[in-house]
Amino acid sequence: MKFLRSSKIGSKAKNNPLCEGELQESFALVKGAVLLLEEGGAPVGTTPPSYQSIGLGGGASDTQHRHLQAMVSLLRPEDTVKLAVRLESTSAVRVRYLLIVATSSRKQESLLLGMDFPSMNSDHCTIGLVLPVWSDTQVYLDGDGGFSVTSAEVTRTFKPVSIQTMWSVLQALHGCCERAVRGAVIPGCGLDWATHYRRHVESDRHCLNEWTVMTGLESVRKHSKGNSTERESVEREIKAQLREIMRTEDLENITSKQVRSALEERIGIDMKNYKEYIDNEMMVTMAQMDKPSKILDYLYLGSEWNAANFEELQKNNVGYILNVTMEIDNFFPESFTYMNIRVYDVEATDLLSHWNNTYMFISEARKNGQAVLVHCKMGVSRSASTVIAFLMKQQGWSLDYALSHVRERRPIVQPNEGFLRQLQTYSGILSARPVGLVRPDSFRREVFVPGTARKVLRDKEE
């Protein structure tokens, strides 16, 4: 174990009798972790420290020293890093840290920040995750070398780079949770300082996707390999040619054997070793030929097959995908902005609590000039209910009219009874607002603008 020591004197400290003299913070350095050492209750300073190492050699210790400086530079003056742990990454180049951050003004409050470095040698990092620690926050071991943190119904999974690092972070997290319980730091109450960090989330899409990675999926996409084999190259060619054949042939009068023969002629190789792959791809292609339903100019409703059809997504200007399933993985995390609502299609599932967030996600896509695909497994119940809820709020429509509009464009839509009851509850919530529901016969596209509605409410309260 090695140590870092920081000194900090700021203008606030000079005028504070509790901060007379030079304040120091010491950090214990272990493999993959930097831990703040409390020094006899000494007050935490008010300016970001300028770290100076004591007895540090080269190599990993110097790297952590530089990384710590970069991460602290992104904090507010009144906030302190209690613990920084390095996490595993799917990238061989990028480096990730999880920070536990506390603030001097509210001793019971803390939050988790995810920090991303583009490379080990980089001295610059960005924020990729902000996760407040509430009184309901729970920490669980995942049995696979990592742990999960569930906070206000949001779950994130982390895998530290060593057992020692895991032990350090678990001890610190449990302490944070206990303080949050004692301070009654309930979701929606306090931790307003987390907003500052949310505004400064600047990591790229690859990093953001890794912070929000899903676990416990029932089907997982295959990871692409850097060096493809000869078979993989042939399979890609089969897939491309197969789609062209199925677009141009009469599918009611062609057999799978005839399709294989057509592939052999086009590609020029014997297809006997690819029979199973071809049959499977034919079924996938058939499913993907069932187009997603266009609900609004910027809103599509569909199935998992539509979510897996990259060419179709691009054609429809889709930049955002809302995945409302427990079963289906995100197919193209490097290419689209995803939001995951991990639920099953059962009546007991709570969808209502997610609709404010899904509304904001769809609105963000529209604001950025891109379309959004909302999907579940078949585009019948979970995703359909979520789209209906969006229409009720965005367009000001009644439940009956929104459901009729969606079914007109996608006749198979059938929310389960539990979701229908939640939509009725949501209708009551929306109709109770000063800006009432708009009748279909008086509908105008821009008559219900969320930003305007919020300002009207503020004006009335004032």
Asked whether the beta carbons of 36 and 72 are under 8 A apart, the reply is: no
Q: Identify whether 268 is part of a domain.
A: yes
- C-alpha 438/C-alpha 37 separation (Å) is 59
Same domain, 204 and 300: no
Long-range Cβ pairs for the range 286-289 (8 Å, 24+): 286/246, 286/251, 288/312, 289/246
Nearest to 196 by CA among 113, 100, 106, 107: 113
Looking up tokens 């994130």 gives 156
- C-alpha 45/C-alpha 448 separation (Å) is 48
Same domain, 167 and 196: yes
As given in the structure block, the two tokens for residue 243 are 């789609």
| 176 among known catalytic residues | no
- C-alpha 43/C-alpha 13 separation (Å) is 10
Q: How many domains does the chain have?
A: 3
- C-alpha 34/C-alpha 44 separation (Å) is 17
User: Could you tell me how many residues make up the chain?
Assistant: 462
Same domain, 129 and 261: no
Same domain, 300 and 169: no
Backbone angles phi, psi at 54, to 5 degrees: -120, 120
pLDDT tens string for the chain (462 positions)? Answer: 433 444 332 333 333 332 333 334 444 444 455 555 444 433 333 333 333 332 233 345 678 888 988 999 999 999 998 888 889 888 889 999 999 999 987 878 999 999 999 999 999 999 999 999 988 888 887 666 778 888 777 788 898 887 777 877 888 888 888 888 888 888 777 788 888 999 999 998 888 888 887 655 555 455 444 455 788 888 888 988 887 887 788 776 777 788 888 899 999 998 888 888 888 777 777 766 678 999 999 999 998 889 988 889 999 999 999 999 987 888 888 899 999 998 888 899 999 999 999 999 999 999 999 999 999 988 999 999 999 999 999 999 999 999 999 999 999 899 999 999 999 999 999 988 654 444 443 333 333 333 333 333 333 333
Beta-carbon contacts of 272 under 8 Å, excluding residues fewer than 6 positions away, are: none
Where does residue 327 rank: exposed (0-12), middle (13-18), buried (19+ CB within 10 A)?
A: middle
Q: Quote the pLDDT of residue 30.
A: 46
CATH number at residue 39: 2.30.29.90
Q: Quote the pLDDT of residue 166.
A: 80
Q: Identify whether 220 is part of a domain.
A: no
Same domain, 12 and 72: yes
Q: Is 252 helix (H, G, I), strand (E, B) or coil?
A: helix
Return the amino acid letter for 178: E
Same domain, 21 and 84: yes
Same domain, 398 and 253: no
Tally of CB atoms within 10 A around 266: 15
Same domain, 56 and 177: yes
Write out the residue range of the structural domain in which residue 236 sits.
230-288
CATH number at residue 392: 3.90.190.10
Q: Could you give the C-alpha distances from 411 to 24, 125, 213, 295, 351, in angstroms and in order? A: 67, 48, 33, 12, 22
Q: Identify whether 223 is part of a domain.
A: no
Element (H, E) at 84: strand 79-87
Provide the CB-side half-sphere exposure for 100 (13 A, CA): 23
As given in the structure block, the two tokens for residue 265 are 């002629």
318 - beta bridge partners? 371
User: Is the torsion defined by CA of 219, 224, 230, 232 positive or negative?
Assistant: positive
- C-alpha 286/C-alpha 278 separation (Å) is 12
**R_g of the chain, CA atoms, integer Å:** 27
Q: Identify whether 225 is part of a domain.
A: no
